[in-house]
Amino acid sequence: MTLGQAKLAGMLLASVIAGAFAAPVLAETGEAEEATVMTMDAPKSGWFFVRGGWGSNGSSIFDSATGKMVGMIATGRDSDLGIDPAGKAYYVAETIWSKGNRGTRQDMVSVYDAKTLKLLTEIPTPGRLVIGGLKTNFVITDDGKTAYDYNFDPASSVNVIDLVKRKFVRAIELPGCANIIPNPGVGFSSLCADGTLATVAIKGSTQEITRTEPFFDAAADPIFSNFAYDRKKKQAVFLTYTGLISVASIGAKPTIGAPFSIQQAAGLRVADTKPLDINWYPGGMQVMALHRPTATLYVLMHKGEYWSPKESAEEIWAVDLATKKVTKRFPIKDGGGNIEITQDDAAMIMVTDNKNNARVIDSKTGEIKHTIENAGGGHITVVEPM
């Protein structure tokens, strides 16, 4: 038996075993069985899509109600996942090389059928930033017709992809800016190193780029790149390293609301950038989650000094954005670096840690509902209300 034959035999055996396990009903009749393949429901508001940690492939889908895995999307290493608003497809912006770790580089958006999770097509693109861990690099517009994919090579630009015709349209150069916010009817907006918010108004084959006045210091107190965006309200929620929260109204001319301190919202002293100023600071890779129906922001917080933006969390703070008050604080026993929340009434939180374990937490009580070992240590995606 050649190596290829051995592999094939192994795969066949594995698929037979997998098919047996995947059978919906255990029927111990002794009769010969057929290998079958499951199909998926359309993306559900109660699902978490959990990335398998740095350098690993696959996004596991967990049901927040049961804590059980229901499937996996083949998100390649350091790829970005987008969910079709109509629930028909998953989009994976990814990069592969023809010989694995070398050879010809290929960038693409891979399109998967949401029901079968089978590859429908690949849309070649001229490049993308290989980074992982960011949910603002690849965004789908509210109407599901366009994708914006951030590129850095190492000059920054945004690739526009037509998801209806399934083809790359063009690249828009955007020096000094990154992280994409959909801006319906206009184009998109991005955070910039000069402390402004840039808005790219796309007009056919041209575009006009305008910027707000500077509203944050990108070097001294940066805004976390994994900010949140509410598509219904057209509002972005920003959080800085010191814990300043601001809400931006996104449109042709975005406006930025006055920032407020998360510590002050909790009845504590405002945090500073100075060393030896021990306070509560936000920290993590996916540092915050917005429950859009209740306008409540959940933030991973730790006690320490400034310049600790990736520190593992000790608590989750719930911030009511309307009253600008911290309404709840939940301790996290084993730390966490990524947080997300389902957008349904159940409002279940998931936190993943650097040991690839996940916890599903009831946001109303702080109770841990499920602990999922090896769920994945990467960032988490949920279905967004449109």
Whether residue 239 contacts residue 282, with contact meaning beta carbons closer than 8 Å, is answered with yes
| 153: contact with another protein by CB under 8 A | yes
Contact window for another protein (CB under 8 A) among 27-35, 62-70, 147-155, 315-323 = 147-155
306 near another protein, judged by CB under 8 A: yes
- Binding region for another protein (CB under 8 A) out of 124-132, 201-209, 261-269, 361-369: 124-132
| Per CB under 8 A, 235 contacts another protein | no
Distance CA 43, CA 90 (A): 9
Residue type at position 83: I
The Cα–Cα gap between 242 and 309 comes to: 9
CB 245 within 8 A of CB 223: no
Q: Which is nearer to another protein, 4 or 154 (CB)?
A: 154
Instruction: Determine the Cα–Cα distance for residues 322 and 230; give it in Å rounded to an integer.
Output: 14
Q: How is residue 286 annotated by DSSP?
A: B
Pick 233 or 269: Cβ nearer another protein:
269
Cα–Cα nearest to 69, from 344, 375, 345, 293: 375
10 binds another protein (CB under 8 A): no
Which region holds residue 85: left if phi is over 0, alpha if psi is between -120 and 50, else beta?
Answer: alpha
Interface region with another protein, contact rule CB under 8 A, candidates 123-131, 200-208, 263-271, 358-366: 123-131
When asked if residue 270 is in the footprint of another protein (CB under 8 A), the reply is no
Beta bridge partners of 168: 161
307 binds another protein (CB under 8 A): yes
Q: Shortest approach of another protein to residue 262 CB, angstroms?
A: 18
Which residues fall within 8 angstroms of residue 225, CB to CB, at 6 or more apart?
A: 134, 136, 178, 179, 191
Q: List Cα–Cα distances, 92 to 3, 6, 284, in angstroms.
A: 32, 31, 24
Q: Which of 10, 124, 185, 214 binds another protein (CB under 8 A)?
A: 214
Q: Kindly indicate which of the ranges 65-73, 86-94, 113-121, 222-230 contains the residues binding another protein, using the contact rule CB under 8 A.
A: 222-230
- Please state the closest distance from residue 307 (CB atom) to another protein, in A: 5
CB of 375 to another protein, least distance (A): 20
- For residues 17-76, which are near another protein according to CB under 8 A? 55
Which candidate, 181, 177, 380, places its Cα nearest to that of 284? 380
Task: Determine if 96 is a binding residue for another protein (CB under 8 A).
Answer: no
- CA dist 339 and 352 (Å) reads 7
Q: Give the count of residues interacting with another protein (CB under 8 A).
A: 47
For position 258 contacting another protein by CB under 8 A, the verdict is no
Interface with another protein (CB under 8 A): 55, 78, 95, 97, 101-102, 105, 129-131, 133-134, 152-156, 173, 175-179, 190-195, 214, 217-220, 222-225, 275-276, 304-310
